[in-house]
Amino acid sequence: MNGTLLITGASSGIGASLVRHLAGDYEVLALARRIDRMNREYGDHPSIHPYELDLADADGTRSLLADLVAEWGHIPYLLNVAGIWNTKSLLELTDEDLRLAMEVDAFAHVRTMQALLPAMREHDFGRIVNVSGTGVLVPMAGWAAQYASIMARNAYGVTAAHENDDRNVKINLMGPGPTSTEMYDGPLPPTACHSTVDYLLGLDADGPTGRMFWLGYEVPLFPELGATELFGPFHADEEYLTRVCDPPEELRG
Ligand SMILES: NC(=O)c1ccc[n+]([C@@H]2O[C@H](COP(=O)([O-])OP(=O)(O)OC[C@H]3O[C@@H](n4cnc5c(N)ncnc54)[C@H](OP(=O)(O)O)[C@@H]3O)[C@@H](O)[C@H]2O)c1
């Protein structure tokens, strides 16, 4: 047994498939709203523990996470899988759509990380996998709310990875590919991502963090801008200020 693993989105699709795959190797805390379904599916499995949670309820989420940390202590593995489905165009989106997308797809992922990271840091061990989507890297028409909230999810995850790289804590993103689930009628089975998740949960101390993986491939998240050279240094010298404040003729429009 590797230890305790908390997974959201555990009632269907990719999350449910991962619960079945990981149970036995991990003590699995399975979170979703459909508790009856999880009890029915996992009820008699000795290492799966279903909990009812609406991730759109910020206070309820914080409260349950605090209870779980109090009960289970250091939870070294976290899989953020839960997500919403919204194909509306930008003009159709309501405030409620925008709010729900951010609550479930982004803020909930922050709340689970905030709850589990302190003990991961204290014990100098943690592995976090935030399910993402490569679709958000090349947004098309529709799915505006979903693209935006998953981009936020990516940013929170990568920032958290940098903030915790002084410890043996690895936080990576994982695109499951176009998968056949309740959410989407894709060509891949939910099992397609298992080996990538296994790899990310089993990373060594010198393994990658703050990166994105898609079915065994690493996907570049950000363009190679030479960011330090372009945007820094923060305490710019005179040459730098002259260069960026006095750009070449062709950029002046
Ligand atoms: N399928 C794909 O092709 C694909 C591609 C790229 C990324 N993804 C990502 O993969 C993840 C899993 O999606 P899926 O395809 O497996 O879809 P799914 O079968 O619809 O699963 C979604 C899961 O999220 C949970 N969830 C949704 N809203 C929730 C809420 N308010 N509170 C708590 N849990 C909530 C659902 O549980 P309850 O309804 O029981 O609460 C369910 O377990 C999502 O983050 C999605 O963006 C999927």
pLDDT tens column, 82-129: 999 999 999 999 999 999 999 999 999 999 999 999 999 999 999 999
Q: Is 175 part of a structural domain of the chain? A: yes
For 33, phi then psi, to 5°, come to -75, -35
**Torsion of the alpha carbons at 236, 239, 241 and 244, rounded to the nearest 10:** -120
Q: Residue 167 is part of which domain span?
A: 4-223
Q: Is 88 part of a structural domain of the chain? A: yes
The structural domain count of the chain equals 1
Pocket probe mutation, ligand 1, options 103, 181, 191, 197, max atoms within 8 Å of Cβ: 181
- Atom 7, ligand 1: which residue's CA is nearest? 133
pLDDT in tens, 143-202: 899 999 999 999 999 999 999 999 999 999 999 999 999 999 999 999 999 999 999 999
- Atom 20, ligand 1: which residue's CA is nearest? 183
Q: Is 213 part of a structural domain of the chain? A: yes
Q: Is 235 part of a structural domain of the chain? A: no
The residues lining ligand 1, judged by C-beta closer than 6 Å to any ligand atom, are 9-15, 32-34, 53-56, 81-84, 104, 131, 133, 175-176, 178-179, 181-184, 186
Q: Is 14 part of a structural domain of the chain? A: yes
pLDDT in tens, 1-57: 889 999 999 999 999 999 999 999 999 999 999 999 999 999 889 999 999 999 999
Looking at residue 106, its pLDDT comes to: 97
When pLDDT is averaged across residues 237-245 and rounded to a whole number, the result is 73
CATH number for position 201: 3.40.50.720
Looking at residue 137, its pLDDT comes to: 84
Tell me, in angstroms, the distance from the centre of ligand 1 to residue 9's CA: 5
Does 251 have pLDDT greater than 80? no
pLDDT in tens, 35-47: 999 999 998 899 9
Pocket probe mutation, ligand 1, options 8, 12, 57, 173, max atoms within 8 Å of Cβ: 12
The rounded distance, in Å, linking the Cα atoms of 60 and 54 is 7
Q: Is 249 part of a structural domain of the chain? A: no
Q: Is 113 part of a structural domain of the chain? A: yes
Region at 230 (left for phi over 0; alpha for psi -120 to 50; beta for the rest)? alpha
Q: Is 194 part of a structural domain of the chain? A: yes
The rounded distance, in Å, linking the Cα atoms of 34 and 54 is 9
Whether 221 contacts 211, CB under 8 Å? yes
The rounded distance, in Å, linking the Cα atoms of 222 and 153 is 14
Confidence of residue 216 (pLDDT cuts 50, 70, 90): confident
Atom of ligand 1 nearest to the CA of 83: 45
Does 209 have pLDDT greater than 90? yes
